[in-house]
Amino acid sequence: MPPDLPATEVVDARFDALDAWDDGAILTALWEGQMAAVAAVQPALPALAAAAAAAASRLQGGGRLVYAGAGTSGRIGVQDGAELGPTFDWPAERLVLLIAGGEAALIQAIENAEDRADLAASALDTHQIGPADVMIGLAASGRTPFTIACLEDARRRGALTVAVANSPGARLLEVAEHAVLVETGPEPIAGSTRLKAGTAQKVVLNLFSTLVMIRLGHVYRGQMVDMQARNAKLRHRALRMVHGLTGREPEAVRTALEGAGGRVKLAVLLLEGLDRPAAVALLERHGGQLRGALAALRDPT
């Protein structure tokens, strides 16, 4: 491999005749690459755990979660961030999604935007990124000027910074406080990081954001007790959740959910005999953790 070439850009000799293979052989090779990408995340778990712990601690203070990237990496970041609201009731005002080229880059390639390091500072100025915030920057090569500049500027402003890259020795990993390297190696189609690198980045973000949300109290007994029940399917799920967590009759569960405005955690506490203000206060005292709130309620000593 040339010393100045990211691992994700290297041409793998194994795939030199890829376009001449039959369909089954191509799909098998691509599938094997996807499995290898998922496996490549395992060595990064300790670094990922440390980053998530630091992020959860910082976000306890009310800061924002910021995703930064370009191209495929930027879109993967946007997807992860956009799902935090409906899944964990993460407030929209505590989420910042930065992608080189702006919203237009979500649906079409704006290739020159990733080279615009100057756009990073203006984006961070616009959103007033500061010490309460957590930024996670993603770049397969780890060389993307926009993403590097985002992390550098965010760190200067006091924000917690996390870098995810797929190439060892990447500059992106050097500028962040927490570096998460996932070595996926050359792609079956050289440089097409929507394949192995993209899959690994999606896995990393799934793990990172889910662990952070668990530590912030949005999960109890393996269920998303802060989900936004905004359609019929999710309202039925909320009913099942509260019934399963409390064992109470469906009518009592329905009444509690109505009194709680559809909030599962509040409904559980209402069924424990609290009124809504007391339930809200108890949850606040325990950092939104239903487990802690219930433990205090059942054993006040």
Q: pLDDT tens-digit profile of 70-85? A: 999 999 999 999 999 9
Lowest mean pLDDT among 107-116, 119-128, 143-152: 107-116
To the query of whether residue 272 is one of the catalytic residues in this protein, the response is: no
Q: How much is the pTM?
A: 0.93
> Of the residues 32, 111, 114, 249, which is catalytic?
114
Domain boundaries, the chain: 8-215, 232-298
> For position 108, what pLDDT does the model report?
84
pLDDT > 60? residue 2:
no
Fold type of domain 232-298: Helicase, Ruva Protein; domain 3 (1.10.8)
pLDDT > 80? residue 110:
no
Any bridge partners for residue 163, and if so which?
137, 179
- In this prediction, residue 228 has a pLDDT band, given cuts at 50, 70 and 90, of confident
To the query of whether residue 83 is one of the catalytic residues in this protein, the response is: yes
> Of the residues 83, 174, 177, 272, which is catalytic?
83
pLDDT > 80? residue 3:
no
> For position 121, what pLDDT does the model report?
92
- Express as a percent the part of the chain with pLDDT over 90: 89
pLDDT > 70? residue 1:
no
| pLDDT tens for each residue of 119-128 | 899 999 999 9
pLDDT > 60? residue 143:
yes
Fold type of domain 8-215: Rossmann fold (3.40.50)
> For position 15, what pLDDT does the model report?
95
DSSP state of 94: G
CA distance 239 to 246: 11
pLDDT > 90? residue 107:
no
Q: What is the average per-residue pLDDT within 212-235?
A: 94
Q: Which residues contact 180 (CB under 8 A, 6 or more apart)?
A: 44, 47, 48, 51, 162, 163, 164, 165, 173, 204, 208
Q: What is the average per-residue pLDDT within 272-293?
A: 95
- Express as a percent the part of the chain with pLDDT over 70: 98
Identify the CA nearest to 101 among candidates 84, 114, 82.
Answer: 114
